């Protein structure tokens, strides 16, 4: 019985250490240092620049989060065509999957596609999973 409670406590500790807490984060690409996700305008694709902006992660059901820019716009990604992400007014949910060293992959709820850094244009896109570093993001909490 004691070992059962010890395993339960260990599982709780492991889960809390690797689950993302709700709050404001800077979203940096793991691929290239010094680039953070930024919103430059209402109809401009989301891209990674040297400017620092904050994104609020609000939990929904099943471990997913809606990701909203400090201006109020959500990350909205086209699920067909070029799959580029823009600021938008409809919430789109993403599941953060811990990859170690404060890095996460973000999986879109409806499609199962992953957010990805496109190094050619420094754009944020949706893409099929390929285990590349372009799919990993450092999430830096506002209070850090």
Q: Tell me the domain boundaries of the chain.
A: 20-141
Contact 97, 91 (CB under 8 A): no
CATH architecture of 20-141: Trefoil (2.80)
pLDDT classification of 3: cutoffs 50, 70, 90: very low
Q: How much is the mean pLDDT over the chain? A: 87
Count Cα neighbours of 61 within 13 Å in the Cβ-side half-sphere: 1
In this prediction, residue 9 carries a pLDDT of 38
Burial of 43 (0-12, 13-18, 19+ CB in 10 A): exposed
In this prediction, residue 18 carries a pLDDT of 55
Q: What is the distance between the alpha carbons of residues 104 and 136, in angstroms, rounded to a whole number?
A: 5
Q: Per-residue pLDDT tens for 39-82?
A: 998 889 999 999 999 999 999 999 999 999 999 999 999 888 89
How many helices and strands (H and E) does the chain possess? 1, 12
Query: pTM of the entire structure?
Result: 0.85
């Amino acid at each position: 019985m004691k070992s059962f409670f010890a395993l339960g406590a260990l599982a709780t500790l492991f889960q809390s250490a690797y689950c993302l807490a709700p709050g404001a984060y800077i979203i940096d690409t793991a691929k290239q240092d010094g680039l953070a996700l930024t919103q430059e305008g209402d109809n401009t694709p989301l891209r990674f620049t040297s400017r620092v902006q904050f994104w609020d992660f609000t939990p929904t059901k099943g471990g997913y989060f809606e990701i909203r820019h400090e201006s109020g716009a959500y990350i909205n990604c086209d699920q067909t065509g070029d799959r580029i992400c823009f600021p938008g007014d409809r919430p789109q949910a993403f599941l953060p999957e811990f990859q170690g060293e404060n890095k996460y992959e973000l999986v879109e709820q409806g499609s199962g596609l992953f957010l990805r850094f496109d190094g050619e244009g420094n754009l944020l896109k949706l893409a099929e999973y390929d285990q590349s570093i372009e799919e990993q993001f450092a999430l830096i909490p506002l209070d850090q």
